[in-house]
Amino acid sequence: GENVEQHPSTLSVQEGDSAVIKCTYSDSASNYFPWYKQELGKGPQLIIDIRSNVGEKKDQRIAVTLNKTAKHFSLHITETQPEDSAVYFCAASSGAAGNKLTFGGGTRVLVKP
Amino acid sequence: NAGVTQTPKFRVLKTGQSMTLLCAQDMNHEYMYWYRQDPGMGLRLIHYSVGEGTTAKGEVPDGYNVSRLKKQNFLLGLESAAPSQTSVYFCASSKPQGAGGTEAFFGQGTRLTVV
C-alpha cells in the first residue's frame, strides 16, 4: 500500500519568514495530493491540493509543488503569521476504491511573533 | 450547514465496555471514512464505505466494526474496548473522484479514553 513520509515533525519560524514542509510517497499510482491544516481541538481542514497533471499550485500565501519523478511534494507558506500556527498534514490518494487518503505523520508549525 | 457531525465529542470507557460512535453528514456524499489520530502517527484509516450498505477495511481495522445503513450516517463500533484504542477518532466524507471532487471533509473528532 501507499506510504507517506513527512518532514520535519516540528517547525518553528519567525513571523514573516517562510515555512516549507516536505513529503514523499511510495505509490506511483497516486494522483491526488492534498494538504490539511488542523487547529487545536478541531478536525483537519483542506488548505490546498494538487493533482498529478500539475507541477505547482498557488493560493495567496501558500503554494504546493509536485515532483512525480522523485515522488515528492512540498508545501510552502510565505510571510507567515501567528494564525498559521497549527499542525499540517500531507496526504496522497490514487483515487481507487473509495479515494482513500494516506496521511503523513504531521508537522507542528509554530510562528513566533 | 452542519457538514460532518460526530457524536459524542468525549468519552471515557472501561476496558471491555462497548460503545458506538456516530457520524452524520449532510452533503450527500457517497464516501465516508473513520480515521484514528495518535501522536506522531498522523491519521490512519480504520474502515471506509463507498455507499449505503457497503463497508471495507482500512489500514487498522482490528477491534472495530462499522455499519452504513443510511447514506448520511456511518457508525463505528467498539465491541470490547482496550487501552490501545485510546485515541482521537475522526469521521470524514467525500464525493467520488469522477464526480469532480476528492476533498475529504472532517468532523470535529471524538476523544476516547479507555481505562
pLDDT of residue A92: 93
- pLDDT at residue B98 greater than cutoff 80: no
Positions of E strands within chain B: 4-7, 10-13, 19-25, 31-37, 43-51, 54-57, 64-67, 73-78, 87-94, 105-106, 110-114
Q: pLDDT for A86-100, tens place per residue?
A: 999 999 998 777 888
**With 70 as the cut, is the pLDDT of residue B101 above it?**
no
Strand bridging mode A56-59 / A62-67: antiparallel
B18 — pLDDT class (breaks 50, 70, 90)? very high
CB within 8 Å of B100: residues ≥ 6 apart = none
Per DSSP, what are the bridge partners of residue A111? Answer: A13
Report the alpha-carbon distance of residue B2 to residue A1 in Å, rounded.
Answer: 33
Q: Which of A4, A50, A99 would best serve as a mutation to test chain B binding (most B beta carbons within 10 A)?
A: A99
The residue type of A66 is L
pLDDT for B1:
63
| Cβ distance of A89 and B43 shorter than 8 Å | yes
Q: Which three cell numbers stand for residue B84?
A: 490501545
Residues of chain A with pLDDT under 50: none
Rounded to whole angstroms, the Cα distance separating A31 from B25 reads: 26
Q: Note whether B97 contacts A: Cβ–Cβ < 8 A.
A: yes
Q: How far apart are CA A95 and CA A86, in angstroms?
A: 27
User: Inter-chain contact B58–A100, Cβ cutoff 8 Å?
Assistant: yes
Report the b/e string of B68-84 with b at 16+ CB within 10 A.
Answer: beebbbbbbebeebeee
DSSP 3-state of B112: strand
Report CB contact under 8 Å: A34, B103: yes
Mean pLDDT of B29-37: 96
Question: Average pLDDT, stretch B52-67?
Answer: 96
